[in-house]
């Protein structure tokens, strides 16, 4: 046995059987950034991006991304999600993205939170690329998770994430 949960004894990829695990409340928080110029941030804030309300569309896209994670990532379980929140914050040189996903189930929601951040970031890029093709999607990471056998995890805030 390889010790990897998504690989069987022959080395083939497999979906983990979670049927014997007890359902628990699970919450995951992920974050990321889209780095861009100050004038793009201003246009988003002023609502002058030609494609529309950038933050509203990115928020909905992130929620949709979390809901469709199992369709995008082959070995993820489809989950009954209880809650998804995607928050976007404008800074002078970037848009901060934070997604919180909660479920009561047999497997965690880390991938759903990370997918929410990723899809929101790609949506921001898509909606603003006419102004800045050099935007950078960066620092996507798991910040915190709770529930399940492995318990609570919180990222060390002093640990720098390199792009």
Task: Report pLDDT digits (tens) over 147-161.
Answer: 988 889 999 988 876
CATH code, 24-148:
3.30.70.640
Quote the CA–CA distance of 108 and 25 in Å, as a whole number: 9
Instruction: With a cut of 80, say whether residue 4 has pLDDT above it.
Output: no
Q: What is the CA radius of gyration of the chain?
A: 18
Instruction: Please give the Cα distance from 98 to 5 (Å, whole number).
Output: 28
Q: Can you tell me the distance from the alpha carbon of 10 to that of 27, in angstroms, rounded to the nearest whole number?
A: 33
Active site residues: 126
> For the chain, where are the alpha helices, taking DSSP H only?
38-46, 54-67, 69-72, 110-128
State the average pLDDT over residues 104-112. Answer: 94
d(C-alpha 114, C-alpha 155), whole Å: 14
Tokens encoding 130: 């006419």
Average pLDDT over residues 79-96: 98
Rounded Cα distance between 4 and 147, Å, is 20
Rounded Cα distance between 69 and 162, Å, is: 25
pLDDT at residue 40 is higher than 60: yes
Distances (CA, A) of 75 to 17, 31, 68, 69, 159: 11, 22, 13, 10, 29
Average pLDDT, the chain: 92
On the question of pLDDT at 106 being above 60, the answer is yes
């Amino acid at each position: 046995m390889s010790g990897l949960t998504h690989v069987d004894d022959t080395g083939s990829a497999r979906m983990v059987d979670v049927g014997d695990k007890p359902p628990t409340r699970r919450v995951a928080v992920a974050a990321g950034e889209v780095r861009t110029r100050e004038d793009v941030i201003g246009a988003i804030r002023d609502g002058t991006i030609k494609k529309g309300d950038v933050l509203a569309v990115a928020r909905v896209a992130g929620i949709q991304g979390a809901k469709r994670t199992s369709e995008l990532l082959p070995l993820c379980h489809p989950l009954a999600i209880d809650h998804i929140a995607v928050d976007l914050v404008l800074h002078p040189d970037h848009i901060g993205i934070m997604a919180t996903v909660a479920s009561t189930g047999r497997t965690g929601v880390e991938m759903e939170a990370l997918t929410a951040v990723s899809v929101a970031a790609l949506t921001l890029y898509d909606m603003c690329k006419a102004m800045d093709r050099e935007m950078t999607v960066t620092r996507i990471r798991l910040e915190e998770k709770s529930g399940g056998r492995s318990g609570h995890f919180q990222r060390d805030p002093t640990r720098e994430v390199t792009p």
